[in-house]
A = this chain, B = another copy of it.
Amino acid sequence: MKPIETCTVGIVGLGLMGGAIARALGSIIGERGRIVAHDLDGDTLARAQAEGVIDEGFTAPKPMLDRCDLVFLCINPATVLRFMETWMAAFPPGTLITDIAGIKGNIVGAMERTLRDDLDFIPGHPMAGSEKSGFVHAKHCSFHEKNYILTPLKRNKPENLDFLKNVIYRMGFGRITETTPGEHDRKIAFTSQLCHVIAAALIDCEADREITRFGGGSFEDLTRIAMLNAPMWAELFLENREELVQRIEQFEGSLDALKGLITGGRGEELEERLRLVRERRAAMG
Chain A interface residues (CB < 8 Å from chain B): 127-129, 146-147, 149, 175, 177, 184, 187-188, 190-192, 194-209, 211-219, 221-228, 230-231, 233-235, 237-238, 241, 244-245, 247-259, 262-263, 265, 267, 270-278, 280-285
Contacts and interface: CB of A to CB of B under 8 A. Distances in A.
Contacts of A277: 200, 203-204, 226, 228
A262 B238 contact: yes
Nearest to A223: B281
A257 B213 contact: no
A251 B283 CA distance: 28
B196 A218 contact: yes
Contacts of A230: 271-272, 274-275, 278
Contacts of A187: 208, 211, 213-214
A281 B198 contact: no
A209 B128 contact: no
Contacts of A282: 227
Given A216-B192, A254-B204, A248 B259 contact: yes
A213 B128 contact: no
10 contacts: A147-B214, A190-B214, A198-B222, A200-B258, A206-B250, A223-B281, A226-B278, A227-B282, A238-B262, A248-B262
B215 A127 contact: yes
Given A192-B218, A222-B222, A231 B281 contact: no
A234 B211 CA distance: 23
B251 A205 contact: yes
A281 B206 CA distance: 10
A127 B217 contact: yes
A187 to B, nearest CB: 4
Contact of A233 (B196, B203, B244, B274): B274
A249 B223 CA distance: 18
B265 A238 contact: yes
A131 B139 CA distance: 30
Contacts of A184: 214
